[in-house]
């Protein structure tokens, strides 16, 4: 993906006591950190997206041409400055920012989403091989009610969140794929949200970095986001802002702030560093691995969900070459769960594993891996039994959907998992309410998958949520 122009943040203007909205005559305002700066009668707004994953989908990219909000009887206002492409299957419970903008004070009752393109890579149920298809847009637009309505008249930041259900959005029948957006929405002022609801994540190339801020261009949407860095921002051992170079690839976990800015909670470089300062890379799902005669990993094929750098080839899969000099690592989020870098090595790269890779493209279109980082796995499944307390942890098992890449590639029928005291919960779920869930309850888990020397798989949960039910479109 080539570097795009910096994100232009448009301020929306208020028009009329009745709350009618118009884009005419608006002026752009940004503050020193590159985020939306509110003016009289408006508040900064962040638009975020997530998904309820579908386990046989390896990649799902949609282009949003419009996202709008409207007051009852008012004119809808598009809150996207330009069409944006986002990869959904890699998000799961994670939230990714799409836009930072401004919204006039008022009461908003509905959200409309329009999709102009959708592409999916999924497992063929017969061959078990990945297939990429452009979906027919059966119904490109959907409007749903905001319940409760968004009502605000102060300049604290507003969060509009859109959650997609992949299982209900995509219909795959043979080689025919159709897409109809099935969404759930929430909107609230940031100071009314809990810490988990305020978290966002961006992976991409570093546009600028200093001791107090980092600007990252998303490998997904191509948009640029600036995060403040302070004394609470966490880095892997040996990493500081001074060791992170421009054009390198990083993963930033951040949090929306009430003033319309983003704060970096953790920053993880995805490669050990390139002498040229330039870097290519991708994150996605491994679908095949190769070894030499002595069993050493020499490479793998992956389906990229996001890619970074100007030299990445277009296509359904990416070949990654592994050398003895390739290093392995885990991100700061995994470290906070108690995982250590020593737990992830070449033996942990297997079909179905989620990885992030940084390196350089060679003349043949292969990525020479400098570093491979353990990626977050998103699993939607049914509890095999109620979660069981084990000291301060909760042990549980998920029935692996069929077809799914973990079932197809690793023959998993049941996946063992553990929730730690540091595991976060979403969509109203808490540790105590999770422990009380009955067998056959659907849950969505974002975590880190490892296998021990005896071949036992364990998913360490970073976040657990119950999937949201898509809202009925207005007029239905």
On whether both 395 and 460 belong to a single domain, the answer is yes
Looking at 374, 407, 425, the residue that finishes a domain is 374
Q: Are residues 363 and 341 in the same domain?
A: yes
Tell whether the model's pLDDT for residue 17 goes beyond 70: no
> Do 205 and 217 fall into the same domain?
yes
**Residue whose tokens read 């309410």:** 433
Is the pLDDT at 168 greater than 60, yes or no? yes
Flag whether 292 is in a domain: yes
User: Could you tell me if residue 5 is inside a domain?
Assistant: no
CA angle 128, 131, 132 (to 5 degrees): 160
The answer as to whether 61 is a domain residue is yes
Which domain covers residue 404, as residue numbers? 377-465
Q: Is residue 275 part of a domain?
A: no
Report the 10 Å Cβ neighbour count for 219.
25
19 shares its domain with 100: yes
Q: Is the pLDDT of residue 2 over 50?
A: no
- Could you tell me how far CA 457 lies from the centroid of its own chain? 23
> Is residue 18 located within the same domain as residue 146?
yes
175 and 186: one domain?
Answer: yes
- Tell me the per-residue pLDDT of 446-467, one tens digit each, with 9 for 90 and over: 999 999 888 899 999 999 999 8
- Is-contact 137 179, C-beta < 8 A? yes
State pLDDT tens for residues 128-161.
888 999 999 988 999 999 988 988 888 888 899 9
Domain boundary among 329, 351, 374: 374
> In angstroms, rounded to a whole number, what is the distance separating the alpha carbons of residues 14 and 18?
10
Find the mean pLDDT for residues 161-167: 89
Whole-angstrom distance, CA of residue 220 vs CA of residue 398: 29
Share of the chain above pLDDT 70, in %: 88
Q: Does residue 350 have a pLDDT over 80? A: yes
Q: Give how far Cα 27 sits from Cα of 9, 23, 265, Å.
A: 10, 9, 31
Q: What per-residue confidence (pLDDT) applies to 440?
A: 96
294 and 370 inside one domain: yes
Does 384 share its domain with 368?
no
Do both 235 and 159 map to the same domain?
A: no
Same-domain check for residues 141 and 63? yes
Same domain for 417 and 456?
Answer: yes
**Helix, strand or coil, per DSSP, at residue 198:** helix
* 128 within some domain: yes
- Strands (E) in 362-435, as ranges, are 367-374, 377-383, 388-390, 393-399, 414-426
- Domain of 286: which CATH number? 2.40.50.140
| DSSP letter, residue 36 | B
Residues in contact with 81: Cβ distance below 8 Å, sequence separation at least 6, in sequence order: 7, 8, 9, 10, 99, 101
**Number of domains composing the chain:** 4
- Classify residue 92: in a domain, yes or no: yes
pLDDT at res. 68: 93
pLDDT for 312 equals 64
Q: Write down the pLDDT at residue 459.
A: 96
Q: What is the pLDDT of residues 258-297, one digit of tens each?
A: 888 899 999 988 765 444 455 788 899 999 999 999 999 9
* Residue 54 confidence (pLDDT) above 90: no
**Of the residues 139, 162, 194, which one is the last residue of a structural domain?**
194
Instruction: Among 182-186, 272-276, 393-397, name the most confident range.
Output: 393-397
381 belongs to a structural domain = yes
Query: What is the distance between the alpha carbons of residues 366 and 466, in angstroms, rounded to a whole number?
Result: 39
**pLDDT band (50, 70, 90) for residue 16:** very low
pLDDT of residue 109: 93
310 within a domain of the structure (yes/no): yes
pLDDT-based confidence at 195, cuts 50/70/90? confident
pLDDT of residue 317 exceeding 60, the answer is: yes
On the question of pLDDT at 429 being above 60, the answer is: yes
**296 and 203 within one domain:** no
Instruction: Say whether pLDDT at 44 is over 50.
Output: yes
Over residues 291-309, the mean pLDDT reads 92
């Amino acid at each position: 993906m080539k570097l795009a122009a910096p994100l232009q943040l448009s301020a929306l203007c208020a028009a009329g006591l009745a709350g009618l909205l118009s884009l005419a005559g608006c002026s752009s305002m940004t503050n020193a950190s590159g985020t939306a700066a509110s003016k009289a009668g408006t508040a900064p707004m962040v638009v975020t997206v997530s998904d309820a994953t579908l386990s046989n989908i390896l990649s799902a990219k949609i282009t949003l041409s419009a996202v709008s909000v409207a007051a009852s009887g008012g004119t809808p206002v598009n809150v996207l400055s330009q069409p944006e492409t986002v990869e959904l299957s890699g998000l799961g419970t994670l939230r990714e920012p799409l836009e930072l903008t401004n919204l006039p004070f008022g009461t908003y009752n509905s959200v409309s989403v329009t999709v102009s393109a959708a592409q999916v890579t999924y497992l063929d149920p017969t061959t078990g091989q990945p297939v990429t298809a452009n979906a027919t847009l059966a119904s490109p637009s959907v409007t749903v009610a905001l319940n409760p309505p968004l009502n605000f008249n102060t300049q604290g930041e507003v969060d509009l969140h859109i959650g997609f259900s992949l299982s209900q959005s995509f219909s795959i029948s043979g080689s025919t794929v159709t897409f109809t957006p099935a969404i759930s929405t929430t909107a609230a002022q940031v100071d009314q949200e809990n810490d988990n609801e305020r978290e966002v994540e961006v992976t991409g190339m570093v546009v600028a970095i200093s001791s107090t801020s980092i600007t990252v261009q998303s490998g997904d949407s191509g948009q640029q986001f600036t995060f403040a860095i302070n004394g609470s921002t966490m880095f892997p051992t040996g990493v500081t802002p001074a060791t992170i170079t421009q054009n390198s690839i990083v993963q930033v976990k951040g949090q929306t702030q009430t003033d319309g800015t983003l704060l970096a909670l953790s920053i993880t470089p995805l490669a050990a560093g390139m002498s040229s300062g330039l870097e290519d890379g991708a994150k996605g799902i491994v679908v095949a691995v190769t070894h030499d005669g002595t069993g050493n990993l020499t490479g793998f094929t992956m389906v990229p969900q996001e890619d970074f750098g100007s030299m990445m080839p277009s296509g359904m899969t990416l070949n990654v070459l592994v050398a003895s000099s390739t290093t392995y690592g885990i991100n700061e989020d995994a470290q906070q769960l108690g995982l250590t870098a020593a737990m992830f090595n070449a033996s942990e790269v297997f079909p179905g594993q989620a990885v992030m890779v940084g390196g350089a493209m060679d003349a043949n279109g292969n990525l020479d891996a400098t570093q491979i980082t353990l990626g977050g796995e998103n699993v939607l499944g049914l509890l095999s039994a109620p979660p069981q307390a084990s000291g301060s942890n909760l042990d549980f098992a998920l029935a692996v959907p069929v077809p799914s890449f973990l079932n197809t590639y690793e023959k998993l029928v049941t996946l063992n998992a553990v929730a730690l005291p540091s595991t976060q919960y979403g969509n109203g779920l808490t540790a105590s309410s999770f422990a009380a869930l009955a067998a056959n309850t659907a849950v969505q888990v974002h975590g880190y998958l490892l296998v021990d020397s005896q071949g036992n798989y364990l998913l360490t949960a970073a976040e657990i949520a119950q999937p949201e039910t898509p809202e009925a479109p207005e007029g239905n």
